[in-house]
Amino acid sequence: MKHALILPILLPLFTGGLLLVLHQLSLTVKRAISMLACWALLPIAIWLVLLAGDGELRTYALGGWQAPFGIVLVLDRLAALMLLVNAFLAAFALLYACRGDDEQGPNFHTLFQFQLLGINGAFLTGDLFNLFVFFEILLIASYALLLHGNSARQVSAGMHYVVLNLLGSSFFLIGISMLYGLTGTLNMADLAVRVGNADAGRAPLIAAAGFLLLVVFGLKAAMVPLHLWLPKAYATAPASVAALFAIMTKVGIYAILRVFTLIFGSTAGAVANLLDGWLWPLALVTLAIGILGVLAARELRQMLAQLVIVSVGTLLAGIALGSVQGLSAALYYLIHSTMVAGGLFLLADLIVRQRGNEGGRLVLAAALRQPLLLGSLFFFGAISVIGLPPFSGFLGKLMLLRAVEPGYSALALWSIVLIGGLGMVVAMSRAGSLLFWRAAYDPKDESIHAPKSDGLRLLACIALLSCSLLLVILAKPLQTYIQATAAQLLDLAPYRQIVGGGNA
């Protein structure tokens, strides 16, 4: 099974290529091929998590060319965990898509597979240039998926999204070009060694390249003030695409975590801990702006998009702490927020389908066909995303608040998290009352003729939302794994040894 490490890349690559070549196949056959490939990623990801659980770093040198000269994939606990989160989310997002979202364009499944290829590759790659390549693959696929349906709102949001990310790609190229010119390598493990050994005269330019990368990754993660593309993009995308996009911001978070612990971490010499003094205020501002956005939202899907920004701020706060406890809290919250956000985007679509002319607008409208079922799911998701017990959002926030040392930082974080939690209670309560409680029967509204929710759509939605409860049930073994993951990230010696050959 030494080739298992490359399977999360090869499987969507070949599946997407096959679907592209055989684009004239019937939709039923395309669905079957895509579903088979997507669900096959789950056992592969589980196997890789078990493989990485022994704490050993594993590398895969493509073509036999060892680091730092060849293309190298690296598997550690963090990469394996992210692959599993992506595989689980994608499996149910695709299941939802197969109930109608994929009928709006001929190449939906091809694009979906290429999106998975880019995301999985970003988690596994061991060098910055291939991180750029995989970023471009997932971004190009996301451009097309966002515009899937060709509505005017999608085109408007898509143009904003495309232009900003093209600008980000330009900055990415400039940043890695600077690092290559200064160090002669783009392999992340080799960069960690060479940046640490760089003379003081090169430190300002290396730091400038690092801050360019922070801008790029911050744009992908939707960190304030680089977040303006996200609300419209997520609110206009098809439900299954928006659910998959729940992990898109986490790719940016992953890149920040990977690059700024390994290359610009404690062993980086003159540029050691480059983000100290920057990431913490950015995290708090992102968290505060996201909460204000939730309160200001007047449309259900826009409110959910703002909740994604809140999760980004929370994750950045955990990373900014720089400790095993802080990183552990961030990783637990990452899993929670990805799954719950994905489930809520699917649930929002189920609600919109039964609201007739009002759609997702948070205004009074006629009663839904299934108010009890959809209202219960909304209440479950709201409690979890707000962070109230006994669900995973509460555990994630509690871990984060316990990880911060007493002082001004603790005062700022506790204040924003707790006051923000109250704000989210207000926002979600207002939305729930307008969607379910204050709705009334209106014989003139077409929503009374809307069909009941499709069974497979409901299954996909419930599966993702139920992860909030599952994460509580599995909290102890999961916490053990993510604490080991955080400790592994901060122990840089094994990563630096990859340049010497690693475990090919």
- Residues in the chain predicted with pLDDT less than 50, given as ranges, are 501-504
Cis peptide before 451 (omega within 30 of 0): no
Interval 21-80: pLDDT, tens: 988 888 899 999 999 999 999 999 999 999 998 888 888 888 777 767 778 899 999 999
Q: For 356, left (φ over 0), alpha (ψ -120 to 50), or beta?
A: left
- Give the DSSP H or E segment for 284: helix 279-296
pLDDT score at 449: 60
Angle at 128 between CA 126 and CA 134, to 5 degrees: 85
pLDDT at 151: 66
Q: Which residues of 370-398 are buried (b: 16+ CB within 10 A; e: fewer)?
A: bbeebbebbebbbbbbbbeeebbbbbbbe
Cα Rg of the chain (Å, integer): 22
Give the pLDDT confidence score for residue 175 in this predicted structure.
Answer: 93
The per-residue pLDDT for 502 is 41
The pTM score is 0.93
pLDDT > 90 in the chain, percent? 53
Say how far apart CA 84 and CA 43 lie, in whole Å: 9
Could you tell me which residues come within 8 angstroms of residue 181 by beta carbon, excluding any fewer than 6 positions away?
none
CA distance 249 to 495: 25
Question: Per the structure block, which two tokens stand in for 243?
Answer: 């659910």
CB distance 4 to 41 below 8 Å: no
Structure tokens at 232: 């419209």
What pLDDT, on a 0 to 100 scale, did the predictor assign at position 327? 93
Measured CA to CA, the distance from residue 217 to residue 363 in angstroms comes to: 36
Q: Give the DSSP letter of residue 269.
A: G
pLDDT per position as a tens digit, 246-280: 999 999 999 999 999 989 988 888 888 888 889 99
Alpha-carbon dihedral of residues 301, 312, 286, 418, nearest 10 degrees? Answer: 90
Q: Which residue has the tokens 């109608």?
A: 100
CA angle 477, 482, 484 (to 5 degrees): 95
- The CA distance from 367 to 443, in Å, is 10
| Rounded CA separation 74/216 (Å) | 22
